[in-house]
Chain A
């Protein structure tokens, strides 16, 4: 039985890797399809055809696409992600500077949003159909569909413009005390949390209710187990797998939200780096950032699946 479980996990890991490989192929294909290539872009439109041809040879752009794909892919393994077309710096250097900031932002958001969302979800599931549940339902259902820039704009208007409590822009370099730290991170984290918590709370509620509807809870109810104990001791342990699954899936929402949030607050993370790279059409940098985002997304989805597999005895025994 342990073998089959091990096999299942291994199979899931392998399939994630294959998907990542295919995703890299799609990203490379899209960014290599365009008629004018990097050489043309670097030199600008006034370059002579000979100059362009020379740079193409130098950059290896005259080689067949599959070979270039292979070189690009193996570059990832060795940490050679190419050179930024707009400022000539190594892509790996740029990414290294920015990635920790984004990870920190994601970590803070996760630490705050997970407990809040779990409490909201569990409370809503326990009071199903009641006033609390319906109010939370209306709020979360609305929050899920609200664009991040609306939350961010309103947050800035309220906390920075009206109340003057917080600065409107994030400057990570000025952080020297805990107070300054909180001031810088308050609004980006608040914006990211609002959508994330709504999503996570909804999924937590659904996962727990799925358990509360099952026969063993009915049995516990008939035995006279009080509601609180029924939820916390009987249903919750069985719902942990689905809830962990829901949390991991919701966290993948961060990847979309962080792009808007880093831009609006001028936060020096990897998402704003990517948006700048897209504006400058700096393809090597775009490719690297896109791979990081897609990799992170696949990792979260895989974690979600693993949680589901590991917590479900029926799946384990199959």
Chain B
């Protein structure tokens, strides 16, 4: 979401504060807290891996072709021949969702990976660049972070029309700056540590220091951060599809499926509720998983 840009940054800042060692008395995690943590982790893990498997194998399991008109009845409820009913044109909803999930998960994964690569890459390199270059790159990312992600996507779609590469580009432009901020502050701290200074004195090149000395120590927080970006990007892309400005027919992601069946709202059509719930369970699952992972990492440090 829009918005979203400042929160992960703030959260990242906090995590990184913990890792650098706080002077405040640490509260020992209570035993019962762990069971709660385990529960959210298992809920998150099972939801997230379920959708990952659906994205991988779903289209193979689809009982009908995605765009085949298979039923006379529109907005049909669940039945043995159509497990999730039919959509507004009498197409099999289960088949459409199995294919749509691949787009939702796949596009968001690609965009999240690219955001983290761009953000972390620049974040790491700028530490080693001359000051003026570091400052100008930071300024650019600071400007981009001040544009809410939905605004960025809407403005870009209004100028260029919508397409899958453009949606990914919009997501990367919105979410790379946050990844940059976190990677930059992590790398900045790491760069002052002794072993990096030693490498520098040894006469190692910038690229060597970035990839061999700094990068391995940033992987974990960057992966956690990428998980959060994945959640936000799923929300952004399905939101755009819901507005009719995202993935276009004949291709459909889960957000498009919600949009095209919105006419079934007054009858409480399964074709509308199923894809909406699907997106919710994907993002909630991923969020629970990431939160429990980053919490347990914090606890290990103590």
- Which of A141, A161, A168, A298 is packed against the most chain B CB atoms within 10 Å? A141
Residue pair B239, A213 in contact (C-beta under 8 Å): no
**Which residues of B are found within 8 Å of A257, using beta-carbon distances?**
1
Report the count of interface residues on A (CB-CB < 8 A).
63
Q: Known contacts A31-B158, A156-B265, A214-B24; is A297 also within 8 Å of B2 by CB?
A: yes
Residue pair A161, B268 in contact (C-beta under 8 Å): yes
**Which residues of A are found within 8 Å of B150, using beta-carbon distances?**
255-256, 259
B14 within 8 A of A: yes
- Which of B7, B161, B273 is packed against the most chain A CB atoms within 10 Å? B7
**Which residues of B are found within 8 Å of A252, using beta-carbon distances?**
2-3, 6, 148
Q: Known contacts A31-B159, A253-B2; is A147 also within 8 Å of B24 by CB?
A: no
**Which residues of A are found within 8 Å of B265, using beta-carbon distances?**
153, 156-157, 161, 168
Pick the residue among B6, B155, B262, B276 that contacts A301 (CB under 8 A): B6
In the complex, A268→B92 CA distance in Å? Answer: 35
0/1 per residue, B146-162, Cβ < 8 Å to A? 11111100111111110
A228 within 8 A of B: no
- Which of B6, B26, B231 is packed against the most chain A CB atoms within 10 Å? B6
B112 within 8 A of A: no
Q: Known contacts A30-B159, A157-B265, A290-B155; is A134 also within 8 Å of B36 by CB?
A: yes
A19 within 8 A of B: yes
In the complex, A31→B161 CA distance in Å? Answer: 11
User: In the complex, what's the smallest C-beta–C-beta distance from A36 to chain B, in angstroms?
Assistant: 10
Pick the residue among A153, A279, A301, A304 that contacts B273 (CB under 8 A): A153
User: In the complex, what's the smallest C-beta–C-beta distance from A148 to chain B, in angstroms?
Assistant: 7
The interface-forming segment of B71-79, B190-198, B206-214, B241-249 is B241-249
0/1 per residue, B73-96, Cβ < 8 Å to A? 000000000000000000000000
Main secondary structure of the interface of A (DSSP, over half): helix
**Which residues of A are found within 8 Å of B255, using beta-carbon distances?**
149
User: In the complex, what's the smallest C-beta–C-beta distance from A199 to chain B, in angstroms?
Assistant: 7
User: In the complex, what's the smallest C-beta–C-beta distance from B167 to chain A, in angstroms?
Assistant: 13
0/1 per residue, A246-261, Cβ < 8 Å to B? 0001001101110110
Chain A 121-172 interface residues, beta-carbon cutoff 8 Å to B? 129, 134, 137-138, 141-142, 144-150, 153-154, 156-157, 161-162, 168
Q: Known contacts A134-B36, A156-B265, A283-B159; is A145 also within 8 Å of B239 by CB?
A: no
11 A-B residue pairs with CB within 8 Å? A31-B158, A33-B160, A141-B40, A145-B284, A145-B286, A147-B239, A150-B277, A213-B26, A252-B148, A283-B158, A290-B155
Chain B residues near A (Cβ < 8 Å): 1-4, 6-7, 10, 14, 24-27, 30, 32-33, 36, 39-40, 139, 142-144, 146-151, 154-161, 231, 235, 238-239, 242-245, 255, 258, 262, 265-268, 272-273, 276-277, 279-280, 283-284, 286-288, 291
Chain A residues near B (Cβ < 8 Å): 19-20, 22-23, 26-27, 30-31, 33-34, 129, 134, 137-138, 141-142, 144-150, 153-154, 156-157, 161-162, 168, 199, 206, 213-215, 218, 249, 252-253, 255-257, 259-260, 263-264, 274-275, 277-279, 281-283, 286-287, 290, 293-294, 297-298, 301, 304
